[in-house]
Structure 1
Amino acid sequence: MRLATFNLLHGRSLHDNLVDRTRLAAAVTALDADILALQEVDRDQARSGHLDLTSIAAQAMNAPTHQFAAAVVGTPGEHIRPLTSDDDGNGEPLYGVGLVSRYPAHTWQVTRLTPAPIRSPVYVPGPGGGLLLLRDEPRVLLAAILDTPAGTLTVGATHLSFVPGWNLRQLRQVIRALRTMPPPRLLLGDLNLPTRPATLVSRWRPLGRQPTYPAGQPRVQLDHILADPRGAETLPPVTAVGAPLSTISDHRPLVVDLAQQPQNRPA
């Protein structure tokens, strides 16, 4: 069973600064993930050709199960507003996270995360980018209970704040939300945190340690796949970890392979 998390940069390539549907699909296909968490996901945005990026990823994976959870209505860096309800923003440009699975889901849960009340310096790639003082955005956790070959599995996808300290506060909120769902539990996403603070605060176990940012020459791991030690006895062992270079985004995806058989079952 292959897990992956990928910050898409709304599907944009740093080579030509364009979003191309075929290139995005090929990048997702190359991961060959069974469960994929996506961050910086657009739907109906002009900058990404009004595409539904989560649906494109699901088609590329041949995955029957997928969900998009918007964090904001509008375009980041321009004009945004928080959602007033989970079905707010229909017909408007949306931005958030996605979760795609080749396995069926029988429960979905969305938890909204409050943005930091201050501006913070952030490096933004591409034309007009650089070190900018940005206002934080609302964030979201999208979680599902999946029926996998290893049994029932709770998987959460999120993208935490870039504001130091505030992302740790959000991580605690994410952990509390996921622990209302059955074990074993996994958290996949761009936490905007290196491994040490992410694991110290969450007390969850990292399934893969690989630098993922910046994509060209990764120096730090911001993208993580964490496992809750509570109830993790049935989680299959890790057999491989990778962070392959992709044709899109300023992040590399993090990929973790789990054994086909969980630890407490005969091979």
Structure 2
Amino acid sequence: MRIATFNILHGRSLDDGRVDVDRLAAAVKSLDADVLGLQEVDRDQPRSMGADLTAVAAEAMGAEHSQFVAAISGTPGGTWMAATGEEQPGSASYGISLLSRYPVVSWRVVRLAPLNARVPLWSPDSRRPFLLHDEPRVAVAAVLDGPFGQFTVCNTHLTFVPRWNGRQLRTLVRSLEGTPEPLVLMGDLNMQRKAAARHSGLEPIASAVTFPAPRPTRQLDHVLVRGKLRAAGPAEAVRLPLSDHRALVVEVDAG
């Protein structure tokens, strides 16, 4: 079973600054994942030509089942509000997706609260910090009927705020108690490997630096497991012609 997680930067390329849905489709197809978690996914956004990027990815990989879950409704960096899951069809939104070639038994959405304060950030173009409103985060989980029987996969994109992302990860793992195991939790966790293992209590099975894409120095993207699953070989951080992250891919077998 081939698992991949990829923060797609809404499909934008660092080389030309454009979103090209055909380029996104080709990149997803090249990963050849059976189960794929995507982060920073647009739907009906002008900057990505109003495309449903989840649908583009699902068709490219041959996923019979997929679920997009909005974290925010509106435009990132512009006017937005926390998504509730009750947004009107056709409204611009931004979030995460989980895609699977295996049948889905059930879906679950977990909403994770943002830090209720403005966060100081430093811009590369300025020596002075600016205050940013932390965005709400979300996770989507599915019970899949896979080659080793039923198991649970969860995809998320946690905040970049230190310590708060650890709290979000602990909350998420607690919310998944009682779901069928093995459990796979993947995504852009915005923390390094040791912190991901410590806060989740799960085992990291994919070790490779993923960020920044041109010359990665850190692993922000992870695949964590609990139960009888193991990596069947070394993970690969795949450079693709879009995004500021590399895709993280690992072959998984029953332990």
Same fold (TM over 0.5): yes
Determine if the alignment matches structure 1 residue 220 to structure 2 residue 201.
Answer: no
Percent same amino acid at aligned positions? 50
2:21 match: 21
- Contact 1:150–1:236, Cα closer than 8 Å, also in 2: no
Preserved CA contact (<8 Å) 1:122 1:162: no
Partner residue of 1:238 out of 232, 236, 239: 232
Q: Deviations over 1:83-127 (max 9, x none)?
A: 23x2324221010000000101010000111111122245779x9
Partner of residue 157 from structure 2, selected from 156, 159, 164: 159
Q: Which residue number in structure 2 is paired with residue 116 of structure 1?
A: 115
Structure 1 unaligned spans of 5+: none
Distance in 2 separating the partners of 1:124 and 1:94: 25
RMSD: 1.9
User: Residues 118-151 of structure 1, C-alpha deviation per residue, up to 9 Å, x if partnerless?
Assistant: 22245779x99x9753211111010000011111
Q: Aligned runs of 1:8-157 on 2, under 5 Å?
A: 8-84=8-84, 86-122=85-121, 133-157=131-155
Counterpart CA distance in 2 for 1:224 and 1:124 is 26
Number of aligned pairs?
A: 254
Q: Which residue identity lines up with residue 24 of structure 1 in the other structure?
A: L
**Alpha carbons 2:10, 2:42 under 8 Å: kept:** yes
Partner Cα distance (1:216, 1:139) in 2 = 26
- Describe the SS at the equivalent of 2:154: strand
TM-score by length of 2: 0.95
- The alpha-carbon distance between structure 1 residues 208 and 82, as it changes in their structure 2 partners (threshold 3 A), is same
- C-alpha spacing 1:77/1:124, structure 2 compared with 1 (3 Å): farther
Aligned twin of 2:247 = 253
**TM-score normalised by structure 1 residue count:** 0.90
Match of 2:205 in 1: 207
- Structure 1 segments (4+ residues) deviating >6 Å: none
Corresponding letter in the other structure for 1:96: G
Partner of 1:147, secondary structure, is: strand
Task: Choose the corresponding residue for 1:171, options 160, 163, 169.
Answer: 169
